Structure 1
Amino acid sequence: MRSMVINIEEAKLKTLSQIKAFLDGTSEVTFRVSKGERNQFIERVFKRFGYASHGRVEKGVLLRYIERMTGLSRQQVTRLVRQYRKDGKLSKYPQRVAPKNGFTRRYTVADVAFLAEMDVLHNTLSGPATKKLMERAFQVFGDVRFERLADISVSHLYNLRGNKQYQNKRRHWTKTNPTGTPIGKRRAPQPNGIPGYIRIDSVHQGDQDGVKGVYHINAVDCCDADAVRRHLREDQ
């Protein structure tokens, strides 16, 4: 049998025996209190049945009832019980789940702007040097703009430099300047009389009767005889 979602007048359940009978007889039916009314419903159940005055077994029945009606897990319900016992009430609306990266933000948008301003003035120095400048700005010169940044770690300073707001203030675009870089040059070697430099030439012997002629490759040592003799004397 498929589960069903229906609404009931749950306030008519006034005793724990009625609650237990309800749980045993509705295993295939799902009840859901709306999310906006969830905490108010749980608080009413705690008060109507005097949760704190019951033993462990009776409390377990009430927790099962709350789980069935709200769809919350046992851990979530237990957390709400602790809150109720501590404060005597639950907040009007369910507590929102904190985001995965829900750390308190220490450095503000203004701090990022001040860091960008410092980097503009000093042409973006290294992290340790920039940190020292901001320490001096606050501690020596009393510039309160850098009060928080004076204590920043170098690693987090680089994190702020990667911030989108920082990039929008510091990023600038320049066109690529074309440069002529020759890939290769064809020129005769200039060994200045030193032996060991070979000059390679191709010579076409010509075509005959429409038949392509042969190309000959000549390899010529570029040094002269006098240079060779000088070189030999130097080696001796």
Structure 2
Amino acid sequence: MEQTADRSRAAYPHLTVETSLIEGPAADVILEASRRAELIVVGTRGHGGFAGLLLGSVSLRVCAHTTCPVVVVPEAAEEVDTPSVVVGVADHSDTPAVEFAVERARRIGGRVVPVHVWTLTMAGYFPGVVAPLLGDPLDLATTHDHLLTEILEPIRAKAPDVTIEAMVTTGAPAYALMGVSAHADLLVVAAHRAHGPFPMRLGPTTHAVLHHASCPVAVVPIPAATP
């Protein structure tokens, strides 16, 4: 551990690097420490039997339960030529994730690419029959364009110095985000903390990108709305 700290101090002499050796379950120790932190950074050390599932149980549990943002850095993360931060945006509730992405882009002198993904909905599935779409595709596309514009408008006003290039597309959200972020510095996703006895801590899109993204992934927890 001290060797790693020494390398960090040598690479970033302007930063204070402190180390701690604490006994206990790794995830519990990290989560307890995070109560006094603004950001957690963990790696991917999974060794499961499924190809591509590289996120270890400790990092996954930290992502699922942390109350502050956490960045998961894959071992194969590559440097990019044009600094950029990609952020997934489903609706207005993801605004904190976009604001986090804007601040990180400002620090690296890069751009932000907010990505909103929507799916064409059909009336049903009938073998051998083309089912009608629920709504006109052009009208739906316009609606989703307006939604993202509405979300980004106040953020653009507060961050005129950051380039924000919005993208609206159709398909599976996880695949779309991984495709856009293939050459990004960071992919930001929101983790909504739901109420209930057995709440889902990480949605399917967040879970998928954590396991398969080739760039670092930041998970920004969104507190559940008061019922």
Q: TM-score range by the shorter chain?
A: under 0.3
Specify the structure having the higher radius of gyration (Cα). 1
- Taking CA–CA contacts closer than 8 Å with sequence separation of 6 or more, which of the two structures ends up with the larger relative contact order? 2
What TM-score comes out, normalization by structure 1 length?
A: 0.20
What TM-score comes out, normalization by structure 2 length?
A: 0.21
The structure with more strand, counted as a fraction of residues:
2
